[in-house]
Structure 1
Amino acid sequence: MSQTANLSQIYLDANATTPVLPQAAQAAMDAMQDLFGNPSSSHITGLKAKNLMEQTRLRAKTLLGTGSGKLIFTSGATEGIQTGIISGLIKAKTQIQAGKKYTLLYGATEHKAVPNSLAHWNEILGIHAEIKSIPVDHTGELDLEFIKNEVGNALMICTMAVNNETGVYQDLQQLEHCIREQNKEVFWLVDCVQALGKRPINLATTSIDYAPFSGHKLYAPKGIGFIYIRDSAPFTPFIAGGGQESGLRSGTENLPGLAALNVIFEMLLDKDNSSFYDVDTLTDYRRQLSHSLSQAFPDIVFNHKFKNSVPTTLNFAVPGFSSKELMDLFDAANIRVSSGSACSSKVTRSFVLDAMGLPAWQSESAIRLSFGPAMTQAEIDTACLRIRSAAKALTNSCLMLDDSQVLQDRAPLDGLVQLRSGSSCTWIYADLKSKQALVIDPLPELEKRIDTLLQCQQLTPIAILDTHGHADHISGRVGLAQKYLATQKTDELGWPTETDILTLADETYHSLALGELTLIKLPTPGHTDDSISLLLTSDPHKLTTHTRYAFCGDTVLMGTLGRTNFATSSAFLMYHSLKQINRLIGQQTLICASHDYNNEFTTSLSAEVIRNPLLQAVLSGVLSESQFAARKADLDANLNDEVGSEILCGAYNTDCDKAQIKEYNSAGLKLRLSTSTNVKILDIREPHEYALQHNLDTTSEPSDIDNVLNTGINIPMTRLVQFIQEHQSDKESEWVLVCRSGSRSMVAAQAMHRLGFANVAHLKGGYALSS
């Protein structure tokens, strides 16, 4: 196993799922071995099984205060939600009056299972009611005024007791008063999944019609849940068949799951003999964790108020850090957290936080830390220690400053760094010998991070530049320039007014010296009228062969060209700018754009003309200005307005063709390395991940695969573009990319393959699955 795997896991993702408590697991095993009978059988083995099932039901009814209401066991919350919604809507359909408009209401921060189910059954049943989301305020509380105005025409209203992302709970008594004052007959479903064991529940004292629950959110196995149905609420079986559960829910009962639930219910009822801690203890756990997080990340922002949240959930964001970066950091410390909602790994933004009206960066960078009521003080102590250690490790990447760490301990920076916020890119070039730096297209979200990097590396910027005026944000250039270049006179993009004049082929250009390199300013209007490109070269008189990077802003993007339908755009000017770039730089020169919509890092003219017929036509001379303008207008017509919080700066294909990259598992990689001496390992983890892996666990011996992987070189993803540039002549070697989980290595391998690295592969599952 990898060294990190030997480090004890701290699991802080309980809102996604929980481990099964040992007592519950044992009860499930006993049920499989001894009480394996079918509860529907009339022999003794079946009767014992039925007795266990009814004992579990009785404890659940006592715990939840169901009174005379029904309690039906299900496969989980999703089935419970379907059961409640279909039961309510089938009955509601019979009460619809012709000509009257009806609605279905749900909370804007509701789990997606609810609105998706409402939409599904609304269509299937032919009800065709208007589905409306109930707004929430900045604290996540439902808008009662909206409910008062809308619930009178509602057939059903769905809310949740506790939100799965933020832990925000609703005042159910106040909510009930609001609903029933306006509509005593509307069917009311309350998602209680995250409330069990965290909030007091007494269902019989409410007018809640349906309340689904899930076992795996509270230390029971997956595949077991239950739903409460008020005695006066309509009911239609969601699953028909053999008539189990008294005909209410057919299908042979999940007895091992019920046995585990039985133990959980027993613990919740008998607090003197329970593994669960009380609210005061859990609140103190939250205080300790939030304090450690605030110590580790002084700029941390919590995305919810503690006063109306259960103590077992913390949702936060750290300025300058993406959720992916923070997840990788925590994972390297063997702490499990999640990014917003864990129900979809592809979500890059939280609809819950959006609904609360939080700034876009908080929604896009949110981390959810959650624990269950069986969390121990020892685990909290370890988690707090690891959190502080994780933050300290960020100094290895110069992502945070720590005055207690000597500068010599930090990896020196020499070359190009790519920083990102969403799909927007900032580029920093550091010259180690001269200790000078160049900052291009600094994003406001990254302003502090750039400042930290410059301080940490003791770099002096010679220029802080934009490649064009940005329509969707204020540049971070102004604040940085005030700090580092307060006396420097510049134009509106930051180019110094006093620079060298360079003559190339009878044309003059402005240039700057950066150590032994030269930065050339090239006007390339089109995307905007002020657009420029910046060429960094080791020999200004041999640009086609010695230009290392072309910072083209949004003129040439990966897979497309920058849009030309802004008020300050011109397709005619872009036509000539593209030709000028083509004349000056080489076909393999790496183009560093201001946006990267498909995680491709960088590109080149040779790579782009293969997949961009419009660019190919311009560069080959088969299109006139007017023909290009017409085709460009068609391309821009396909643009959506935004991606995330950003204005799209170029039409792009969201289903871009990604190369099929060869994948190794750990055994296959060891075998390949034993038969070839030409394979090169490229580890793309960040330096702080190394620091955590090796500093937190110093006792375990590295495994065979660790020894194999440790023979490779480390190139963090933020430095991948420089690696590609430096290895242009080494594209035939077999490179195997490795990261923590295999996701980053796959993306980076695809980018390298597109740029001509013919034999690139990656380790599937990364270090996490290596053994």
Structure 2
Amino acid sequence: MTEQQQLSQIYLDANATTPVLPAAAQAALETMQTQFGNPSSSHITGLQAKQIMEQTRGKARKVIGASSGQVIFTSGATEGIQTAILSALYQAKHNYSSEKKPCILYGATEHKAVPESLKHWNHILDIHAEIKAIPVDKDGMLDMDYIAKEVPNALMICTMAVNNETGAEQDLSKLEQVIRSNNPETFWMVDCVQALGKVELDITNTSIDYAPFSGHKLYAMKGIGFVYIREQAPFTPFIAGGGQESGLRSGTENLPGLASLNMIFDELLGQGTGAFADKATLTHYRAQLAEALTTAFPTIVFNNNFACSVPTTLNFAIPGFSAKEILDLFDAANIRVSSGSACSSKVTGSFVLDAMGLPRAQSEAAIRLSFGPAATQHEINDACERIAYCAKALGHSCLVNMNELDNKSTLDGLVQFKVGGSCCWLFVDGDSREAVIIEPLAELTQRLLTVIECQGLKLKAVIDTHGHADHASSRTQLLNDELTAQKTDHLGWPKHCETTVIAGHQLAFIEVGQFALVKVATPGHTEDSISMSLCHKDELAAGKINSLYTFCGDLVLMGTLGRTNFESSDTQKMYHSLTLLHSLLGNDSLLCPSHDYNNEFVTTLDAEMKRNKLLADVLTQSLSLKTFIEQKVQLDNQIHDEKNQEIMCGALTGCTQKHHFIELNKDTLQTHLETHQNVQLIDIREPHEYALNHAQQFDKNVPLTRLADFIAAQKPHKSQPLVLVCRSGSRSSVAAQALARLGFDQVAHLKGGYALAH
């Protein structure tokens, strides 16, 4: 085991959840072992339990400054939100008499629990109010003018005190003045989940009607929270039953959770162990982390304004890197951070940052680093050191400039970079250090320049397969002095180059070390579309293309064909381009498209024909040109991506197929290794993760960026038993699916990865 593997966990995802404070855990344990009574029981054990509950309620009032109103214990914030929304809307339905259509307002950066609950109860209660998102500015502050305009017709307005992704802190006093001066009767809920322990609250002296809180965001147990309800604010029980909580919230009380919450309140009231740091200390911690991040990643962009956010949240992006890449990098160094909200099902753009008007690429790359008031100076120091080590690992992989490193890894072969669904390809001839870049993406410009400089590459060409409608090319930004002087067409293909005749077609090519990149005109998706096949020079001299890779642009995409309904498209020419490419390459050449919407990496004509009948009919000559054009129009009519408002370059037909591969767990892994001969263990992590936490028993490191290169090398050995492993099992599963789809029939992966293997 390496030194890095022995590093302790540094947990910097406190906005998602927190560990239970030792004193809180002990209090919960004692209630389970010795004070386990039911607070509703009238005997002594029950009375002792009820005393704990009422003590906790009294302390809750002090913490939030609620001398009046109700404090009701719940299972957490979501239940509190439901209780508030149901109570307010049920009453508002009977109160509202205006001739204007009513509305319900919520902040555009609210946690999804709020708008989804509003939609649900608006429908269930048959109110049919218009639900409107309140815009925010670049700092996440609510638009007061919008509120003043819309709130007169609002049945309810929902805001949050502190945002869970950015830490943006709303001015509740100013917000109250705008709301109440324009509508003193509307019901106002403030989500205070992220404010507890970070913001001074004085709820009694506000007109807030409802305020939900959660324990697990501040070192108490999961499954415990509470909701404040202003005196005389309407209330409808969300849970009916045995009449607990004075009939306000039925269900046996979570006494261990209450006991843990009781200890947290002691800390907030200055009656505990002194585990919580003050605001000045927390602000200092943030400054240290920000400095460490900036030193490690000089191009870093902070997405939240520190001047108007709580000091425990940093939200940032590192240009050229996806959120997933940085998340995996930090996780390999045993630093736990998140990409946006932990409640998101997958890494996509942050709707919070989108609402703030940040560029889409910045939103998609966002990382949230958050800590709680129990953080210590020692933990922050360790985090800063570990962040520097992460940057060093990236330098080892030539992804950031770390000039003092003398043991940089050497690139050889094909590398695939992705931004969203768009692909960029870098091919390097290891001997000559000559390289080409295909489909350069603007978001990757600095990253590619760093790789070129660090690896000492001689760039022979930077080429697009066509003029892209969905993204900008960064071709000109990557050109060195020699390439700038090179005469090329608008896609970057050199005007003066050698030609050869293959199967009766005169084709231009350029040399890249011992390889040749051959250009084939394949119009259809656009008039200027080309494909480029990479093969060995000596094979080209023999008059054939035995292609290692073919960069086919958007002619053939995984599961579909490129769209042909642009002004510059030509469906008839696409038909002929498909037959031409097939005649030159055959069925088994690896195709590297411009887009990969389903994480399938590369494909072949054979694999696509098995699931794309339209393509199969063209290549088997069982479809006339006229019929192809008719069916292609129908296919293009399926193109839409309303959710992301992104230009899709091919219809997502839903024809992605699941292919069989073996899922192993930690119990079946050893048996599998013993019963299969010649098994190759493959680590799917990226090289920088591998350097941070290298398991010596693995035969090979094949990150997803190099999977296409591995597939090409492994094609003659498709029956080789493979076991793929990554951090969580997600990447190894994706890679196993991609391999199985291309005919690798002995592929297994470790479900749960390293995370569940110990």
The TM-score range, normalised by the shorter chain, is over 0.9
Q: Which residue of 2 aligns with 1:463?
A: 461
Q: Which residue of 2 aligns with 1:740?
A: 727
Q: Which residue of 1 aligns with 2:676?
A: 676
Query: What CA distance in whole angstroms lies between the structure 1 residues aligned with 2:729 and 2:641?
Result: 32
Query: What CA distance in whole angstroms lies between the structure 1 residues aligned with 2:243 and 2:3?
Result: 52
The alpha-carbon distance between structure 1 residues 547 and 742, as it changes in their structure 2 partners (threshold 3 A), is: same
Q: How does 1:97-112 map to 2 (within 5 A)?
A: 97=97, 99-112=99-112
* TM-score (structure 2 length as normaliser): 0.98
Q: How does 1:124-203 map to 2 (within 5 A)?
A: 124-203=124-203
Structure showing greater relative contact order (alpha-carbon pairs closer than 8 Å, 6 or more residues apart): 1
Is the contact made by 1:70 and 1:230 (CA closer than 8 Å) also made in structure 2?
Answer: yes
The alpha-carbon distance between structure 1 residues 484 and 379, as it changes in their structure 2 partners (threshold 3 A), is: farther
The CA deviation at 1:351 is 0.3
The CA deviation at 1:507 is 2.2
Query: What CA distance in whole angstroms lies between the structure 2 residues aligned with 1:514 and 1:168?
Result: 51
RMSD: 1.5
Query: What CA distance in whole angstroms lies between the structure 2 residues aligned with 1:422 and 1:654?
Result: 18
Amino acid in the other structure paired with 1:19: P
Is the contact made by 1:587 and 1:606 (CA closer than 8 Å) also made in structure 2?
Answer: yes
Instruction: State which of 716, 732, 739 in structure 2 corresponds to 1:752.
Output: 739
Greater shift, 499-508 or 347-356, is seen at 499-508
The alpha-carbon distance between structure 1 residues 517 and 5, as it changes in their structure 2 partners (threshold 3 A), is: closer
Is the contact made by 2:428 and 2:436 (CA closer than 8 Å) also made in structure 1?
Answer: yes
Q: Which residue of 2 aligns with 1:248?
A: 248
The CA deviation at 1:344 is 1.8
Is the contact made by 1:642 and 1:648 (CA closer than 8 Å) also made in structure 2?
Answer: no
Q: How does 1:382-421 map to 2 (within 5 A)?
A: 382-406=382-406, 409-421=407-419
Query: What CA distance in whole angstroms lies between the structure 1 residues aligned with 2:360 and 2:655?
Result: 24
Write the deviation string for residues 227-260 of structure 1: whole angstroms up to 9, x where unpaired.
0000020111111111111111111100000000
Query: What CA distance in whole angstroms lies between the structure 2 residues aligned with 1:114 and 1:450?
Result: 41
Write the deviation string for residues 137-167 of structure 1: whole angstroms up to 9, x where unpaired.
1110000000000000000000000000000
Q: Which residue of 1 aligns with 2:435?
A: 437
Q: Which residue of 2 aligns with 1:761?
A: 748
Question: What SS does structure 2 have at the residue aligned with 1:540?
Answer: helix
The CA deviation at 1:482 is 4.8
The CA deviation at 1:652 is 1.3
Write the deviation string for residues 632-670 of structure 1: whole angstroms up to 9, x where unpaired.
010000101567464110011357322243111123111
Is the contact made by 2:434 and 2:513 (CA closer than 8 Å) also made in structure 1?
Answer: yes
Is the contact made by 2:266 and 2:272 (CA closer than 8 Å) also made in structure 1?
Answer: no
Q: Identify unmatched segments of 5+ residues in structure 2.
A: none
The alpha-carbon distance between structure 1 residues 754 and 743, as it changes in their structure 2 partners (threshold 3 A), is: same
Write the deviation string for residues 409-463 of structure 1: whole angstroms up to 9, x where unpaired.
1121111111111111111110111110011010010111111111111111111
Q: How does 1:580-619 map to 2 (within 5 A)?
A: 580-619=580-619
Question: What SS does structure 2 have at the residue aligned with 1:512?
Answer: strand
Query: What CA distance in whole angstroms lies between the structure 2 residues aligned with 1:617 and 1:352?
Result: 46
Question: What SS does structure 2 have at the residue aligned with 1:211?
Answer: strand
Q: Does 1:728 align with 2:726?
A: no
Query: What CA distance in whole angstroms lies between the structure 1 residues aligned with 2:541 and 2:584?
Result: 10
Amino acid in the other structure paired with 2:515: L
The alpha-carbon distance between structure 1 residues 744 and 542, as it changes in their structure 2 partners (threshold 3 A), is: farther
Instruction: State which of 510, 515, 518 in structure 1 corresponds to 2:516.
Output: 518
Question: What SS does structure 2 have at the residue aligned with 1:213?
Answer: strand
Is the contact made by 1:5 and 1:768 (CA closer than 8 Å) also made in structure 2?
Answer: no
Query: What CA distance in whole angstroms lies between the structure 1 residues aligned with 2:98 and 2:311?
Result: 48
The alpha-carbon distance between structure 1 residues 2 and 663, as it changes in their structure 2 partners (threshold 3 A), is: farther
Question: What SS does structure 2 have at the residue aligned with 1:197?
Answer: coil
Is the contact made by 1:537 and 1:543 (CA closer than 8 Å) also made in structure 2?
Answer: no
Question: What SS does structure 2 have at the residue aligned with 1:429?
Answer: strand
Question: What SS does structure 2 have at the residue aligned with 1:15?
Answer: coil
Write the deviation string for residues 347-396 of structure 1: whole angstroms up to 9, x where unpaired.
41100000000000011010000000000000000000000101110022
Q: How does 1:436-585 map to 2 (within 5 A)?
A: 436-482=434-480, 485-538=483-536, 539-540=539-540, 546-585=546-585
Question: What SS does structure 2 have at the residue aligned with 1:647?
Answer: coil
Query: What CA distance in whole angstroms lies between the structure 1 residues aligned with 2:2 and 2:733?
Result: 20
Q: Which residue of 2 aligns with 1:293?
A: 293
The CA deviation at 1:73 is 0.3
Q: How does 1:263-412 map to 2 (within 5 A)?
A: 263-270=263-270, 273-406=273-406, 409-412=407-410
Query: What CA distance in whole angstroms lies between the structure 1 residues aligned with 2:434 and 2:288?
Result: 42
Query: What CA distance in whole angstroms lies between the structure 2 residues aligned with 1:199 and 1:285?
Result: 17
Is the contact made by 1:512 and 1:518 (CA closer than 8 Å) also made in structure 2?
Answer: yes
Query: What CA distance in whole angstroms lies between the structure 1 residues aligned with 2:486 and 2:222?
Result: 63
Query: What CA distance in whole angstroms lies between the structure 2 residues aligned with 1:676 and 1:613?
Result: 37
Amino acid in the other structure paired with 2:727: R
Count of residue correspondences: 756
The alpha-carbon distance between structure 1 residues 488 and 104, as it changes in their structure 2 partners (threshold 3 A), is: same
The CA deviation at 1:541 is 5.6
Is the contact made by 1:461 and 1:484 (CA closer than 8 Å) also made in structure 2?
Answer: no
Stretches of 4+ moved more than 3 A in 1?
1-6, 541-545, 641-646
Query: What CA distance in whole angstroms lies between the structure 2 residues aligned with 1:711 and 1:92?
Result: 63
Query: What CA distance in whole angstroms lies between the structure 1 residues aligned with 2:136 and 2:710?
Result: 47
The CA deviation at 1:690 is 1.9
Is the contact made by 2:39 and 2:46 (CA closer than 8 Å) also made in structure 1?
Answer: yes
Is the contact made by 1:460 and 1:484 (CA closer than 8 Å) also made in structure 2?
Answer: no
Q: Does 1:6 align with 2:2?
A: no
Question: What SS does structure 1 have at the residue aligned with 2:49?
Answer: helix
The alpha-carbon distance between structure 1 residues 183 and 484, as it changes in their structure 2 partners (threshold 3 A), is: farther
The alpha-carbon distance between structure 1 residues 26 and 272, as it changes in their structure 2 partners (threshold 3 A), is: closer
The CA deviation at 1:543 is 7.4
Query: What CA distance in whole angstroms lies between the structure 1 residues aligned with 2:642 and 2:658?
Result: 23
Q: How does 1:610-629 map to 2 (within 5 A)?
A: 610-629=610-629
The alpha-carbon distance between structure 1 residues 544 and 225, as it changes in their structure 2 partners (threshold 3 A), is: farther
Is the contact made by 1:303 and 1:353 (CA closer than 8 Å) also made in structure 2?
Answer: yes
Query: What CA distance in whole angstroms lies between the structure 2 residues aligned with 1:49 and 1:5?
Result: 44
Question: What SS does structure 2 have at the residue aligned with 1:37?
Answer: coil
Amino acid in the other structure paired with 2:457: L
Is the contact made by 2:12 and 2:370 (CA closer than 8 Å) also made in structure 1?
Answer: yes
Query: What CA distance in whole angstroms lies between the structure 1 residues aligned with 2:94 and 2:643?
Result: 43
Question: What SS does structure 2 have at the residue aligned with 1:547?
Answer: coil
Question: What SS does structure 1 have at the residue aligned with 2:437?
Answer: strand
Is the contact made by 2:323 and 2:347 (CA closer than 8 Å) also made in structure 1?
Answer: no
Query: What CA distance in whole angstroms lies between the structure 2 residues aligned with 1:476 and 1:615?
Result: 32
The CA deviation at 1:714 is 1.2
Is the contact made by 2:682 and 2:698 (CA closer than 8 Å) also made in structure 1?
Answer: no
Is the contact made by 1:543 and 1:586 (CA closer than 8 Å) also made in structure 2?
Answer: no
Query: What CA distance in whole angstroms lies between the structure 2 residues aligned with 1:761 and 1:484?
Result: 46
Query: What CA distance in whole angstroms lies between the structure 2 residues aligned with 1:42 and 1:332?
Result: 53
Q: Sequence identity, in percent? A: 60
* TM-score (structure 1 length as normaliser): 0.96
Q: Which residue of 1 aligns with 2:209?
A: 209
Query: What CA distance in whole angstroms lies between the structure 2 residues aligned with 1:656 and 1:46?
Result: 58
Amino acid in the other structure paired with 1:488: Q
Amino acid in the other structure paired with 1:712: D
The alpha-carbon distance between structure 1 residues 298 and 271, as it changes in their structure 2 partners (threshold 3 A), is: farther
Greater shift, 17-26 or 473-482, is seen at 473-482
Is the contact made by 2:108 and 2:352 (CA closer than 8 Å) also made in structure 1?
Answer: yes
Q: Which residue of 2 aligns with 1:697?
A: none
The alpha-carbon distance between structure 1 residues 518 and 477, as it changes in their structure 2 partners (threshold 3 A), is: same
Q: Which residue of 1 aligns with 2:651?
A: 651
Query: What CA distance in whole angstroms lies between the structure 2 residues aligned with 1:610 and 1:677?
Result: 31
Q: Which residue of 2 aligns with 1:703?
A: none
